Chains A and B, each alone.
Chain A
Amino acid sequence: MKAFRGLLIASFKQFFRDKAALFFTFAFPILFMFIFGLIYSGEGNLSYDIGLVNQDISPAGAATAQGIKSVPIFKVTEGVLDTTLAEMRDGKYKAVVVIPPELAVNVSRGEVSNVKVYYDPSDMASQTILPVLRQVIEQINQQLSQRPVLLAIEEKSISAHQFGGMDFLIPGILAMSILFLGLFGALPMVEWREKQVLKRLGATPLTRSNVVFSQVFYRVVLALAQTVVIILLARFVFGVNMVGNWFLLFGMVILGTLTFVSIGYLAIARARTTESAMPVIQLIQFPMLFLSGVFFPIEIMPSFMKPIVAVMPLSYLGDGLRQIMVEATPQNTMPVNALVLGAWFVVSSLLAIRFFKWE
């Protein structure tokens, strides 16, 4: 016990004096939160520039124009067809809406008039603009035809509270931090092997399990500290509250750390130098970071990638944390999350024990 504590204290002292390790553990996730915070803060006053060409002089045309102008996220500029289209090509408008002439005449005859919409399919904005326009036109259509509304949609969020972009991201950032802390936590072990510190420790009465457990324990403590820092920052800077149970959260964080530390140890089991261990760690880290739904919702990924997502431990950690922290819609049930992480932990630590080279 004395030996375990001795090595643990030494590890912490080494960590807090290592500026790069400190940065990656604490400053990096915080930096990440602020960058995403900045991106999402712009979302509220989002608006699209729309060009409008009204070729109808009747009250029906004016009413249609008014309907389009009244959409809050549209900034509408009226003009004539040729110049407006030319301006759109210069990037001034995201879309141009053309109200055809003789709208009133067609309406009175019960004939269809086509409201033309020019848009750029390669522009992501048209994905938002087109449905909104369709809805607006539909409404105007109803008013003009005086047909009664029989079906309506009432929108209801199933989340207990307002769910914003940061709510999705903060558990993701925590999951990312745990991933980093675990995987990169294995690197000092390579350095110890390379510089013969492991050999030197092996020449003392210290047992190997003492060495490993002290290193894992110190990583878990760091992960919990990191969790507290991220949650406090989320609460006081971004107004994202931790709504779940703290014990459940800490349990999930500990399980996640154990899982990624053992994956890290497995990855570097045979690496000779820190330089050669680094790419191996990154090869594991990058796909996991981008394919496990931590930063991007799994729904937007093509279906052939879903099986990849389904095996990545980070997916389950991210989902678990998201459920606990912000009560997000579950992808999996909590026992499934815990079981998959636990399975990864057991398998990779057994393999790490089998393949790890001490010298």
Chain B
Amino acid sequence: MVIQVENLVKTYGQIRAVDGITFQVNRGDIFGMLGPNGAGKTTTVEILEGLRVADSGKAAVLGMDITKAAAKIKQQIGIQLQAPALLPLLNVEELLKTFASFYHKSIPVTRALELVGLQESRKVVVKNLSGGQQQRLSVAMALINDPEITFLDEPTTGLDPQARRALWTVIEGMRDQGKTVFLTTHYMEEAQRLCNRLVIIDHGKIIAQGSPAELIRQNFTEKAIEFETVTPIPEATLKSLPGVTRSAVEDGSTVIYSNKVTATIAALLDFTEKDRTYGELANLHIREATLEDVFLKLTGRKIRE
């Protein structure tokens, strides 16, 4: 176990940003902390990084108490903050060398750049990098001391899909090397693809934890059927269809969860054929339930960007 958190609490005035959370991270995990903005993800990470002090509870990183061995822990962890926080007038290589000088041990700059795919930009001045490149550079900065654990706080927020995929590849590379990664995100797709273990956090509390597959299996034996109609079909009608267990409407799109998919769809098509009040059925498709569905089921809301 490389991170152990027990009953951690942090309040800001009236707000309980972190409200008594308990979890563990194992060596080699790509551990995800999922939740909407303001759920308490960043506060938790910053407590573990030694940037904030918890009001109560215990936290140990690499077997050391964070309140007692902060300096020693900092030598062995890599950190990427939400804001890139770079020195804009240095070039990529100079910035990495500067950060390398802060640690007892470090990896060569070329290696760090290779890990994040920035070899070409070695001599580029930081302020001239694109947003995605800056984000990757800030991941390279987190890796420069060859850390035992790397903390990535929403590393893909604000990136275009292409830059996001590039960063996923970087994180998958870290997983393949057996490194531990602590990742916070509000992208369910990202967590589902990268993480082998995760906790879902909302209002400072952990509402579910496990592997993505476990979380989906625990919450859904059904599959999701998604479609759009001009006006939403009432929930009672949907529930009366064969096999339907639950339904939800978000942004004009309806999701019903069913354990008898073929029967449900046949009945749905039959219903919309006879009753024209809700308009034409569009964009009908079947998919496996996702973490997004889990979050929706647990909180009654969709996680938002």
Stretch in contact with the other chain, from A197-205, A241-249, A349-357: A197-205
Stretch at the interface among B97-105, B184-192, B251-259, B276-284: B97-105
Q: How far is the CB of B143 from chain A (nearest CB, A)?
A: 13
Please determine whether B85 and A199 come into contact, CB atoms closer than 8 angstroms: yes
CB distance from A9 to the nearest CB of B (A): 7
B49 interface residue (CB < 8 Å to A): yes
Q: Are A196 and B81 in contact (CB under 8 A)?
A: yes
Q: Which residue in A17, A204, A207 is a CB contact (below 8 Å) of B99?
A: A204
Given the interface contacts A17-B89, A195-B83, does A205 sit within 8 Å of B103 by beta carbon? yes
B209 at the interface (CB under 8 A from A): no
B50 adjacent to chain A (CB < 8 Å): yes
Say whether A206 faces chain B, with CB atoms less than 8 Å apart: yes
Q: Is the CB of A197 within 8 A of B101?
A: no
Please name the residue on chain B nearest to A10 by beta carbon.
Answer: B98
Q: Which residues does chain B contribute within 8 Å of A10, judged by CB atoms?
A: 87, 90, 94-95, 98
Q: How far is the CB of A11 from chain B (nearest CB, A)?
A: 9
The answer to whether A6 has its CB under 8 Å from any CB of chain B is: yes
Which residues in chain A, 198-237, are within 8 Å of chain B measured between CB atoms? 199-207
- In the complex, whether A144 has a CB less than 8 A from a CB of chain B is no
B49: A residues at CB distance < 8 A: 203
Evaluate contact between B98 and A197: CB separation under 8 angstroms.
no
Q: Is the CB of A197 within 8 A of B102?
A: no
* Alpha-carbon distance between A271 and B101 when the two chains are bound, in angstroms: 29
Q: Are B101 and A2 in contact (CB under 8 A)?
A: yes
Is the pair B51, A9 in contact by a Cβ cutoff of 8 Å? no
Q: Knowing A197-B85, A204-B103 touch, does A6 contact B75 (C-beta < 8 A)?
A: no
B71 & A205 in contact (Cβ 8 Å cutoff): yes
Partner of A6, one of B81, B85, B98: B98
A3: chain B residues at CB < 8 Å are 101-102
Closest-by-CB residue of B relative to A188 is B87
List residues of B (61-97) whose CB comes within 8 Å of A's CBs.
Answer: 71, 74-75, 79, 81, 83, 85-90, 94-95, 97
On chain B, the residues within 8 Å of A113 by CB distance are: none
In the complex the two chains form, what is the Cα distance from A196 to B89 in whole Å? 16
Chain B residues 17-55 with CB under 8 Å of chain A are 49-51
A59-82 to B contact mask, C-beta < 8 Å, 1/0: 000000000000000000000000
Nearest CB in chain B: distance from A325 CB, A:
34
* Contact of B51 with A7 in the complex, beta carbons under 8 Å: no
From residue B75, how far is it (CB to closest CB) to chain A in Å? 5
CB distance from B67 to the nearest CB of A (A): 15
**B81 is contacted by which of A7, A17, A18, A203 (Cβ under 8 Å)?**
A203
Q: How far is the CA of A5 from the CA of B100 in the complex (A)?
A: 12
Closest chain A residue, CB of each to CB of B52: A359
Q: Which of B83, B85, B90 contacts A13 (CB 8 A)?
A: B90
The answer to whether B87 touches A6, judged by C-beta atoms less than 8 angstroms apart, is no
Of B71, B89, B94, the residue contacting A18 (CB under 8 A) is B89
How near does chain A come to B86, taking the closest CB pair, in angstroms? 8
Shortest Cβ distance from residue A25 to the other chain B in the assembled complex, whole angstroms: 15
Output the least CB separation between B117 and chain A (Å): 22
Q: Which residues of B contact A5 (CB under 8 A)?
A: 101
How far is A196 from B71 in the complex, measured between Cα atoms in Å? 20
Collect the chain A residues with CB atoms within 8 Å of residue B74's CB: 203-205
> Does A14 reach chain B (CB closer than 8 Å)?
yes
Q: Are A13 and B101 interface neighbours, CB within 8 A?
A: no
Q: Which of A14, A199, A207 contacts B87 (CB 8 A)?
A: A14
Chain B hits for A7, CB < 8 A: 98, 101-102
Please encode chain B, from 249 to 275, with 1 for each CB lying within 8 Å of some chain A CB and 0 for all others. 000000000000000000000000000
Chain B residues whose C-beta falls within 8 Å of the C-beta of A9 in the assembled complex: 98
Which residue on B lies nearest to A203, using beta carbons? B79
Please pick, from A6, A197, A201, the residue contacting B97 in the complex, using a CB distance under 8 A: A6
Contact check, A6 vs B89: say whether CB atoms are below 8 A apart: no
Give the distance in Å from the alpha carbon of A247 to the alpha carbon of B94 in the complex.
35
> With A6-B97, A6-B98, A196-B81 in contact, is A203–B103 under 8 Å at CB?
no
Set B79, B87, B103: member contacting A197, Cβ < 8 A: B87
Additional 17 contacts, C-beta under 8 A, given A204-B79, A207-B71: A2-B101, A7-B98, A9-B98, A10-B94, A10-B98, A13-B90, A13-B94, A14-B89, A197-B87, A199-B51, A202-B51, A203-B51, A203-B81, A204-B99, A204-B103, A205-B102, A205-B103
Top 9 A-B residue pairs of the complex, sorted by shortest distance between their CB atoms: A6-B101, A200-B85, A196-B85, A17-B89, A10-B98, A203-B79, A204-B102, A205-B74, A196-B83
A-B contact pairs, 11 of them (CB 8 A): A6-B100, A10-B94, A10-B98, A13-B94, A195-B85, A196-B83, A200-B79, A203-B51, A204-B102, A205-B75, A205-B103
